[in-house]
Copies of this chain bind each other. A is one copy, B any other.
């Protein structure tokens, strides 16, 4: 275990905690006070850190994802579990049925289950958009849906390029959490770009190396 801790950079006490919480499978017993840990334990540790630190999951949710990875269920199932675990829990009760119907019309033809967390989150946005007196701009919503489809294709390609269920689940969790942040970042950059193209203003392009940008 001391070696596993050294290789992974994770303290022994933390590894023991993961073992107790059944996040990490026990090593192969080789003596009264000795166990062997292999490559699979290292990979599992990386998945656990991804779930807890990047995904911000509770230990219980992380265990749910790990159980799904270890199960013989189809990949789409463990994908769904991982996706749900890192998505905000939205209570569909009390949600405006019109907003839900609006999102269902928007993604008509998509195979989306009723409790997909994204369906509910999108309906919540439509609800807020309407409550704030923004015109429900169908065109804006449709173009978002088309772009989301492109991104989801890229997500699935990334996941499928991984070799093992473990690596796939890791990529689902990391990709779902980081993908949100990546997209919203690139969207802001793209907004500045499109805005500058349409409404030219004096502009300093990014060309200097990062070091020089820090000087006043």
B92 and A189 form a contact (CB under 8 A): no
Q: How far does the alpha carbon of A204 sit from the alpha carbon of B11 in the complex, in Å?
A: 45
Report chain B residues within 8 Å CB of A157. Answer: 139-140
A199 and B75 form a contact (CB under 8 A): yes
Answer whether A134 and B171 are a contact pair too, CB < 8 Å, given A92-B210, A144-B182: yes
Q: Interface size on A (CB < 8 Å)? A: 103
Give A18 Cβ to nearest chain B Cβ, in Å.
17
Q: How far does the alpha carbon of A161 sit from the alpha carbon of B137 in the complex, in Å?
A: 10
Q: Would you call A63 an interface residue if the criterion is a C-beta within 8 Å of the partner chain's C-beta atoms?
A: no
Report chain B residues within 8 Å CB of A122. Answer: 181-182, 185-186, 189
Q: Would you call A145 an interface residue if the criterion is a C-beta within 8 Å of the partner chain's C-beta atoms?
A: yes
> Which A residues are closer than 8 A to B by beta carbons?
46, 49-50, 54, 74-77, 79-80, 83, 87, 92-93, 95, 97, 100-101, 103-104, 106-107, 110-114, 116-126, 128-129, 132-134, 137, 139-141, 143-158, 160-161, 170-171, 174-176, 178-199, 201, 203-206, 208-211, 213-214
